[in-house]
Every structure is written in structure tokens, then in C-alpha cells.
Structure 1
């Protein structure tokens, strides 16, 4: 079975729909961070980069009185749950290996514990920890990291570079 590339994942209409909400710049930056961390931690760069690219695809917008209400969003946030399901369904549609789709989905689910009544300290797998750390490296107060802009064509170029690094790492 051929590896589903980051570019293929990014170009899918479902990914395009949801990354517009959470921020293409953030998704690509976290994928870059995850690839570097994965190599350092001896974790699959492919799984780490895919998980990182899709980690926030469960985000949604929470408006109150016509204005974005970040505090209210955080109070009701379940984006990791929604994102895990969307990521799994997307990868299966793209023909990804079922075990890869499952591992990516779990890493998306557990990249944050903001929706849980407990912390995930020392409960994550190495892959899940890499994705959580990669995300934390790009976070900014008030969710500002979700509003950095990146043209989709630039994202494709950067993801192509990551795909090449992933392939080179397999050799």
C-alpha cells in the first residue's frame, strides 16, 4: 500500500474546509515541528506529521452577539473529539492504512487535554506526546496562532518538502 502523502491529505476538500477554520499556517507549522521532534524522539515522522497537520480539524467557531468569544469557546471546546473522528474518516477515504488512520486519530484526540476533567501527563504515547509538544511550540495567547495567514499554494510547497523528508527518512 502506497503512503498517503501530506499534500494529498491537504488537498482533499474536507481538509480544506476544516483547516480554513483552524488556520492553515498553524497546521503546517505544527506539522513541521512534529517532523523535527519525531526524528529526535525516534517516532514515525509520517504519523507525527499527519497527526500534526490534522490536529485542529475539529475546531469550530463560537460567536456570541455576533462576535468571536474565545472564552466561551474554551469553556465548551471538544475540538479534539470532533477532529479525531474527522481525521480518521478522511484518511480512510484517501486509502490510508487502517492502523495508520487509527494512530493518527488517537494522536489528534490526545494532542490536548483541555476538554478532559484530568490531565494527560505521562499517559500519552510517544507519538501523541510529539504532536502535543509540536502544537504547544506554536501556540499564542488568545488563540492568535489560528489567525496567522498562509496561502494554500505556499502550504503545498512546504508540505511537499515535508513529504520528501519523510520519504528520505524511510531509506
Structure 2
């Protein structure tokens, strides 16, 4: 049984601040991609959607002379580290299972390798799903972070995804009991 829904996360002031700053439309799109990919990779769709929704909550905006500077961002960004910390704290505060909160935080930490020295990452399937979901929604020069979505539409899309997750978890449980 799920202890925390996407709508509960969305409604929390911390998520409101940081997910919106990083791009609410992107977070929701990545969540849908992660949900779809979760079946293919055999991972929990709830954890995948939550990690994808929160994956960029560590973003900081990098400006130079009042203009967004993508190169400055690429050179200095550690958003995955900060986002993993914020997401873990938020999920625990909301009552998420602590093991799940850790798995989600690790998926956020490893959704990108942009801040790491050159190396091949050995990602878990959940971590792969979140990284792929993010890549599927990317636009050149970070434009995906600036797409807009209304509060009402965001709420409806997350409510719909919560329902899809509930159904998938129920079907998964039925399969396991057979």
C-alpha cells in the first residue's frame, strides 16, 4: 500500500517551491515516462513516478548579467546532490517508508552524471528508469525547465497518474498472489 501519493507531494510547500522552480511541466512529463518505463524495467511504478517527479528539485538557476547561462549551469551544477537530499527529507516528513525514501533519493542522485568525473555508472533499474524518463523529456539548452502548466492541469495530471499507479500496484499484487 502506498503511504504517500503524488498529490500529497505536490501539495507540500517544499515541493511547491522547488519542483515549480525546476519546471513543473517537466516533472510531470518525466513522471509519466517513468511510470511507463517501470513496467519494462520491472520496477515499482510508485517509486519510479515519485523519483521522476522530484528529480530536479535541487536545481539552482544560473544567471550572468541577468540572462540564463546554460554553460555556467553545466560547469557548476550539482542539482542531483541537493535534490536527493531535499527529496529524502520531504518524503520522510510526509511519512514515506524510509527504505523507499532512500531508493527514491538515490535514483534522484544518479539521474544524471553531469556533475561526476568521467565514469560509467552502474545504475539500478529504478535509477535507469529515472535517468531515461528525464532524457525523454529534455529539450536543448534546458528549455524543458521553462515549459508552463497551470496548477489545475498539474493537479489533474497527478491525480490521474496516482490512479494509474494504484491500478498497476493492485494488478502487480494480484499477479504475485497467483
Deviations 1:50-89 (A, max 9, x none): 0000000000111112221111011000000000000000
Report the 3-state secondary structure (helix = DSSP H, G, I; strand = E; otherwise coil) of the residue aligned with 2:148: coil
Q: How does 1:78-93 map to 2 (within 5 A)?
A: 78-93=78-93
Q: Which residue of 1 aligns with 2:136?
A: 137
User: Residue in 1 aligned with 2:145?
Assistant: 146
TM-score of the two chains, using structure 1 as the length reference? 0.96
Match of 1:53 in 2: 53
Kindly report structure 1 stretches of 4+ aligned residues shifted beyond 6 Å. none
User: Aligned residue for 1:12?
Assistant: 12
SS at match of 2:35: helix
- TM-score w.r.t. length of structure 2: 0.92
Question: Retained in 2: the 8 A contact 1:24–1:152?
Answer: no
- Kept in 2: contact 1:27–1:56 (CA 8 A): yes
Q: What is the alpha-carbon distance in structure 2 between the residues aligned to residue 119 and residue 160 of structure 1? A: 38
Q: How many pairs does the alignment contain?
A: 170
Which stretch of the first structure deviates more once superposed, 66-75 or 80-89? 66-75
Q: Tell me, in whole angstroms, the C-alpha distance in 2 between the residues paired with 1:154 and 1:119.
A: 39
RMSD over aligned Cα atoms? 1.1
Q: CA deviation at 1:2?
A: 4.8
Residue number in structure 2 paired with 1:102: 102
The answer as to 2:123 corresponding to 1:124 is: yes
User: Structure 1: where are the runs of 5+ without partners?
Assistant: none
Larger Rg: 2
1:76 match? 76
Q: How does 1:32-43 map to 2 (within 5 A)?
A: 32-43=32-43
- Structure 2: stretches of 5+ with no match in the other structure: 171-178
